[in-house]
Amino acid sequence: MEIPENSVTALIGPSGCGKSTYLRCLNRMNDRIKAARIDGSVEMEGTEIYDPNANLVELRKRIGMVFQSPNPFPKSIRENISYGPRKHGDINKGLLARLFGRDDTEQEGELVERSLKQAALWDEVSDRLDDNALGLSGGQQQRLCIARCLAVDPEVILMDEPASALDPIATSKIEDLVEELSKDYTVVIVTHNMQQAARISDQTAVFLTGGELVEYDDTDKIFENPESQRVEDYITGKFG
């Protein structure tokens, strides 16, 4: 698969076919699973990410992840956003900040506002940034997690069924957000909802039983004129 930048690529297929496992290969999260074994190659802009000398912290900063269930930190909304940039040193502190005439509070405020606006959440939470993030609704929590991912300025955003646990209204907001984000980021999304894939993606990859990538093409072609009979049978509901 070649995943083009500034686009949305959907991974679809029946439950248990390996979509999420494949997604986690793209930022080496499977490294954290002791039983996992990896073969093959994954390159980002010509660089092998499975090089033994690869910097995993930097890799996972460039390739962010949003999980199926919202997982905000048990901290304030503001702290959820600023946590990553502080860990990476993207917010200057102390003497360095003063030398440049800006304190870290000012930088943090700008970053929090920008990230929340990108995640279409600012208007809903701007007056309660110091409230605990766990008090937000499920859909708001998921958009907060997206904002938290955006705060470290990634190039790629991986999303593992980000709307599967949400109601239809929250799902619609996530879908609108994904389309908007693709103007500036490369988005790869796993979804069990074929209609969702058809609505928001530019390319679609179809995985079937055993983790086999059966077909990968423009979304319109996959849904209107697939080359594989197995893909057509899956999309038309004959199995899966």
Burial track 138-151 (b if 16+ CB lie within 10 A, e otherwise) = ebbbbbbbbbbbbb
Residue 153 — left, alpha, or beta (φ > 0 → left; ψ -120 to 50 → alpha)?
left
Listed by start position, the domains of the chain span 8-235
134, pLDDT greater than 60: yes
What single letter denotes the amino acid at residue 48? E
Give me the mean pLDDT over the 47-65 stretch: 94
What's the predicted TM-score (pTM) here? 0.90
Question: Which CATH number is correct for 8-235, 3.40.50.720, 3.40.50.300, 3.10.290.10, 1.10.3720.10?
Answer: 3.40.50.300
Give me the mean pLDDT over the 123-149 stretch: 96
Distance between CA 109 and CA 127 in Å, rounded?
13
Distance between CA 233 and CA 204 in Å, rounded?
16
How are beta strands 43-44 and 63-66 bridged, if at all?
A: unpaired
CB 178 within 8 A of CB 8: yes
State which H helix or E strand residue 79 sits in. Answer: helix 77-88
Percent of the chain with pLDDT over 70: 93
pLDDT in tens, 90-112: 666 544 454 455 556 788 899 99
pLDDT in tens, 13-48: 998 999 999 999 999 999 989 898 888 999 999 999
Nearest C-alpha neighbor of 194 from the set 228, 161, 156, 146: 161
What pLDDT was estimated at residue 89? Answer: 76
Average predicted confidence (pLDDT) for the chain: 91
CA of residue 104 relative to chain centroid, distance: 27
What pLDDT was estimated at residue 95? Answer: 44
Give me the mean pLDDT over the 111-117 stretch: 95
What pLDDT was estimated at residue 93? Answer: 55
pLDDT in tens, 161-202: 999 989 999 999 999 999 999 999 999 999 999 999 999 999
